[in-house]
Amino acid sequence: MGSLFWIQTAGLIRDTFREAMARKIFWGLFGLSTLMILFVLFLLRIDVVEGATATIGLFGFERTRLMDVDRIVRGAHSFVAAFLYSFGMFLAVFASAGLVPAILEPGRIELLLSKPVGRAHILFGRFAGTLLVVTANIAWLVAGVWVVFGWKTGIWNAAFLWTIATTVFLFSVLLSVVFLTGVAFESTALSTMIPVAMIIVSPILAQERTMVKLMSSEWSRQVWRGLYYALPKAADLAMVTLGLVRDRQADWWWPVWTSGVFGAVSLAAAVILFRRRDF
Amino acid sequence: MGDSCYAIEANDLVKVFRTRWRRREVRAVDGISLQVEPGATFGLLGANGAGKTTFVKMILSAVRPTSGCAKVFGRDSRSPDARLPVGYLPENHRFPTYLTGAGMLDLYGALSGMSEAARRRRIPELLELTGIGKWADIRLGKYSKGMLQRVGLAQALLHDPKLLILDEPTDGVDPVGRVHIRGVLQTLEQKGTAIFINSHLLNEVELFCRDVAIIHKGRVALTGRVKDLTRTKGFRVSTSGAPERLRDHLSAKAAAVASLNGSVQFHFATIEEANEAVDALRAEKCLVESLTSSASTLEEVFVRTVQNG
C-alpha cells in the first residue's frame, strides 16, 4: 500500500479523534477513567509495604498477610474488569454511536465521497479512529489502576493488563454492530440500542445449559442455542477476563472466535451496505 | 490516464430511484450523454428536479448509475483514482463545525492525498486566495454562509485539480464576493482547469461558461456553446413618421411589429430584410432612428427549451 493510503488513513483517524474531542466523548471517558483511578487511590491505604508484613486497608478492612493482600488486589482488579465489561462498555457504546451517522449527514458524505478514497477505506478509517479513542481510555484506566495497586502493595498482577485486550476486543465487536446499524438506519438511537441490548441479553443467553433444560419444546431450545452461538458473548468474555485476573484457567477460545466472527460479519455487512448506497 | 481526451464523458447515464418496497420508480436521469473538454468552462442548467445534482453525483460516484457509464479523464468514475484530479464543492454542504478553516482544509487535503508538507504550504495560500486568511484558526461554526462558501471553494482548489465541479458556487455570497469568486475561477480557466458549474443562476453561467447543457426531465434538452445559443436572433429597425402605405408594406415583410412612444419597430429575421427596410424608409425620406440586432439571453433560451420540452 502506497503513501496515499496512509495519508488518507491518518486523515480519517485524526478526524475521528477531533470529532470525539469536540463532542466531549474523549474527555468524558478520560475524566471518568481518571475519577475511577483517583477513587481507587483514595480507598487504598497502606501502612507498611514490606512483603509479607504489609498491612493494607481497603473498604475499611485491614489485612496483614501477603496471601490476603494478593487476594484483595486480585479482587479489586476483578471489580475494575467487571466495571469495564458492564458500565464501561455501555458508556463506550453510548459515546461512539453517533460517530457513524455523523459522517452520513447530507452535505458531508458527498464531500467525503468526492475524494479519492474508497468507501470501505472511509468506514475502516472511522472504525479505527473510534476504536483508538476507546482503547486509549481503557488502557489509561486499566494501566492507572494497575500502577496504583502495584505501587501501593508491591503486587504487580500482570494478568490484569489482559483486561485491556479483552475489553477492547469486545468493544470492537460491538462497534461493528454500531457501524452496521449506523450505515443501515443512520440512527444514533438504534446504533446505541442494538449493541446495548446485546450486552444485556448476553448473560441471560450464557445460561444456555440451564435454560435448555427448562425449555419444553425442541424448537425453542434451538432458537436459544442459535442466539447464544451467533451473538457476541460479552458475559463469557467477562468471565474469561475475571479468570485471567484471578489466575484461574478459562476457556477463552470459544467466546473469542464466535464473537470475532460475529464482529467480522457485521463489519463486512456494513461495508457492503455502505458501498451499495446512494447519497 | 486512459485514452479519452474528455474531462467528463457520460454515456447514456440512467438513474432510477425506487421507493422502499419497489412499487414506484422515479427516473431522475434518463439517458444523459455529454462530454466536457479539458480546460472548458461548462454550465449545467435545469429546473428544480431536472436531474442535475443526480448527474453530478454519478460523476463523483456518490450515486451509482442504474445503467450507462461515466469517465473522468478516461477513468471509470466508480474508481477512487478517477477522483484524484477532481475538486468538488457541493450544494448545501455541511462541513464539520468542530474544525477550524485551516483544520478543515488539512482534513480534505489529506483525503485528496496531499502530503503534510504540501498541505502546510497550500493551505495559507488558498485561505488568502479566497479572502478568509484571517479566519484560518476560527471554528467553522462561527463562519457566515458566504465564508463557508469561500472555504468550501478553497478545499475544492487545494490539491490543484484539473477538473473543478461546483454546485451553486456563489450561493449565499454577496455581490462583491461573487465577483471575487468569478475572478478566482477565471484565473483557473486561464491555467487550463476544466470548470463544470451546476447552477440555476443563468446570468452567472452566461457570463462565465463557454459551453452549456440544459437538462429537462432527466435528459439533455439542449447543448452547445453559449455564444451560439444566444447568438443574434434577428434585427430591429426603429422608425417614426413613415406613411401608412409604407408601414403596411414593411409590416407584411416583418416578423413582428411593435409601437413604442410614437416610434414603430419592425423585427426582421435576416440582415438583408432589415437593410431592404432601411432602403425603403430612406427612399421615402423617413427617419431611421436605429438598426439593432436583437439577441436572446440564456434565460430566454432556457425558458423556451424547458417550455417546449
Task: List chain A residues with CB under 8 Å of B110.
Answer: 7-8, 10-11, 14
For residue B1, tell me if it sits in a domain: no
Residue B205, in any domain of the structure: yes
Residue B20 contacts A where some CB pair is shorter than 8 Å = no
Residue B14 is assigned to a structural domain of this protein: yes
What pLDDT, in 10s, does the model give residues B216-265? Answer: 999 999 898 888 887 667 888 999 888 989 999 998 988 778 776 678 88
Where a domain ends, among B196, B212, B228?
B228
CATH of the domain at B151: 3.40.50.300
User: Which of B60, B88, B96 is opposite residue A19, by nearest beta carbon?
Assistant: B96
Same structural domain for residues B41 and B189?
yes
Nearest C-alpha of chain A: how many angstroms from B200? 18
| Cα B18 to chain centroid, rounded | 29
Is the Cβ–Cβ distance between B15 and B29 less than 8 Å?
yes
C-alpha cell at A278: 446512494
Burial B168-185 (b: 16+ CB within 10 A, else e): bbbbebeeebbebbeebb
| Residue A200, pLDDT score | 94
Report whether A238 contacts A82 (CB < 8 A): yes
Please list the residues that pair with B213 across neighbouring strands: B44, B223
User: For residue A233, what pLDDT is reported?
Assistant: 92
**Is A107 close to B94, i.e. CB distance below 8 A?**
yes
Residue finishing a domain among B228, B247, B275: B228
Q: What is the mean pLDDT of residues B177-205?
A: 90
φ, ψ for residue B307, nearest 5 deg: -70, -35
Do B222 and B238 share a domain, yes or no? no
Same domain, B269 and B172: no
Closest of A132, A173, A176 to residue A267, by C-alpha = A176
Distance from the Cα of A98 to chain B's closest Cα (Å) equals 14
CB-closest option in A23, A107, A114 to B86: A114
CATH number at residue B283: 3.30.70.980
Q: Tell me the average pLDDT of chain B.
A: 90
**B2 domain-assigned:** no
**Is B19 in CB contact (< 8 Å) with chain A?**
no
Shared domain check, B215 and B285: no
Q: Which one of A21, A24, A114 makes the best mutation probe of the B interface by having the most chain B beta carbons within 10 Å?
A: A114
Do residues B152 and B213 share a domain? Answer: yes
Looking at the structure, do residues B220 and B246 belong to the same domain, yes or no? no
Residues of A in contact with B86 (CB under 8 A): 114, 116
Q: Count of CB atoms within 10 A of residue B296's CB?
A: 16
Say whether A111 and B93 touch across the interface (CB within 8 A). yes
Residues from chain A that touch B112, judged by Cβ atoms under 8 A, are: 115-116
- Per-residue pLDDT at B5: 84
CB nearest B94 (choices: A105, A117, A279): A105
Would you call B83 an interface residue with chain A, using a CB distance cutoff of 8 Å? yes
Pair (B14, B110) in one structural domain? yes
Residues B73 and B114 in one domain: yes
- Inter-chain residue contact A12 with B63, CB threshold 8 Å: no
Specify whether B188 is located in the same domain as B235: no
pLDDT value at position B220?
A: 92
Q: Is the dihedral of CA B260, B262, B267, B270 positive or negative?
A: negative
**How far apart are the two ends of chain B, measured CA to CA in Å?**
37
User: Apex CA B145: angle with CA B141 and CA B151, to 5°?
Assistant: 75
Confidence of residue B297 (pLDDT cuts 50, 70, 90): confident
> How far apart (Å, rounded) are the C-alpha atoms in residues B17 and B28?
7
Query: Can you give the pLDDT at residue A199?
Result: 94
> Residue B113, by phi and psi: left (phi above 0), alpha (psi -120 to 50) or beta?
left
Q: Is B235 on the interface with A (CB under 8 A)?
A: no
Separation in Å, CA of B215 to nearest CA in chain A: 21
| ipTM of the complex as predicted | 0.83
Residue A52: per-residue pLDDT: 41
Q: Please report which confidence band the pLDDT of residue B176 belongs to, taking 50, 70 and 90 as the band edges.
A: confident
Note whether residue B259 is domain-resident: yes
Q: How far is CA A86 from the centre of its chain?
A: 9
∠ CA(B96), CA(B99), CA(B105), 5° rounding? 90
Q: Kindly tell me if the per-residue pLDDT of B76 is higher than 70.
A: yes
Instruction: Name the percent of chain B lying above pLDDT 70.
Output: 96
Q: Is there a single domain that holds both residue B237 and residue B186?
A: no
pTM of whole model > 0.80? Answer: yes
* Statement: residue B194 has pLDDT above 50: yes
Kindly state whether residues B114 and B83 are assigned to the same domain: yes
Give the chain B residue nearest A119 (alpha carbons).
Answer: B80
Mean pLDDT along residues B166-172: 86
Q: Do B60 and A107 touch (CB under 8 A)?
A: no
B223 and B238, same domain (yes or no): no
State the Cα–Cα distance between residues B188 and B126, nearest whole angstrom. Answer: 13
Q: Which structural domain, as residue segments, surrounds residue B267?
A: 231-308
The pLDDT value given to residue A120: 97
User: What is the separation, in whole angstroms, between the first and last Cα of chain A?
Assistant: 28
pLDDT confidence of residue B140: 96
Query: Cα–Cα distances in Å, from B75 out to B31, B60, B84?
Result: 20, 12, 10
Chain B positions in Cβ-Cβ contact with residue A109 (cut-off 8 Å) = 62
Task: Supply the pLDDT for residue A232.
Answer: 94
Would you say residue B2 has pLDDT above 60? no
Q: What is the pLDDT of residues B139-167, one digit of tens each?
A: 999 999 899 999 999 999 999 999 999 99
Residues B88-99 pLDDT 10s: 999 889 999 999
pLDDT at A251: 79
Integer Cα distance of B238 and B216 in angstroms = 37
Contact of B122 with chain A, judged by CB distance below 8 Å, is answered with: no
Q: Which of A144, A146, A21, A138 is nearest to A87 (CA)?
A: A138
Binary contact (B111, A116; C-beta < 8 A): yes
Residue B134 in any domain: the answer is yes
Nearest beta carbon to residue A117 from set B82, B92, B111: B111
Residue ranges in chain A modelled with pLDDT below 70: 1, 45-67
- Return d(Cα A163, Cα A143) in angstroms, integer: 10
Average pLDDT of the segment spanning B18-39: 89
Q: How many Å apart are CA B253 and CA B207, to the nearest integer?
A: 35
Instruction: Decide: residue A255, CB within 10 A, 0-12 exposed, 13-18 middle, 19+ buried.
Output: buried
Contact B243, B250 (CB under 8 A): no
Does residue B16 lie within any of the structural domains?
A: yes
In this prediction, residue A45 carries a pLDDT of 64
Which chain A residues are Cβ-neighbours of B115 within 8 angstroms?
Answer: 3, 7
pLDDT (tens digit, 9 = 90+) per residue, B108-121? 999 999 999 999 99
Number of structural domains (chain B) is 2
Shortest alpha-carbon distance between residue B52 and chain A (Å): 14
Question: How far is Cα A153 from Cα B228, in angstroms, rounded to an integer?
Answer: 88
Q: Could you tell me the three cell numbers for A92? A: 463506550
Grid coordinates belonging to B129: 486566495
Dihedral angle at the C-alpha atoms of B292, B293, B294, B297, nearest 10 degrees?
Answer: -120
Quote the CA–CA distance of A138 and A165 in Å, as a whole number. 9
User: How would you classify the pairing of strands B163-167 and A61-63?
Assistant: unpaired
